[in-house]
């Protein structure tokens, strides 16, 4: 049994290395995308919560104003 690496084996190892680097690049991009989406979700949730609070305040204020200007019978 020879310990020398054949050309085919060397090419297979080189291709595996290229594939591994490609997979690591794809994985890194997926993680960046996930981080972006998680941050986006947090930002949107915060903004929607603030908007909901404003709408509730305006709804209560509108109810008060409608009550204040209703005709007295």
**Residue 6 located in a structural domain:** no
Expressed as residue numbers, the domain containing 50 is 31-73
Q: What is the pLDDT of residues 47-71, one digit of tens each?
A: 999 999 999 999 999 999 999 998 8
Per the structure, how many domains does the chain have? 1
Query: Is residue 2 pLDDT above 60, yes or no?
Result: no
Integer CA distances (angstroms), 46 to 25, 32, 34, 56, 57, in order: 32, 21, 18, 15, 17
Note whether residue 1 is domain-resident: no
Does residue 36 lie within any of the structural domains?
yes
Q: What is the pLDDT of residue 1?
A: 45
- The reply to whether 5 falls in a domain is no
Tens-digit pLDDT profile for residues 3-32: 577 988 888 888 898 899 999 999 999 999
**Cα–Cα distance between 7 and 40 in angstroms, integer?**
49
Q: How far is residue 20 from each of residues 2, 3, 14, 25, 29, measured CA to CA in Å?
A: 27, 25, 10, 9, 14
In a domain, 51, yes or no: yes
């Amino acid at each position: 049994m020879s310990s020398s690496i054949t050309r085919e084996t060397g090419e297979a190892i080189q291709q595996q290395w290229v594939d591994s680097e490609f997979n690591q690049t794809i994985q890194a991009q997926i993680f960046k995308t996930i981080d972006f989406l998680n941050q986006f979700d947090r930002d949107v949730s915060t903004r929607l919560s603030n908007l909901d609070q404003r709408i509730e305040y305006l709804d209560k204020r509108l109810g008060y104003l409608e009550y204040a200007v209703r005709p007295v019978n």
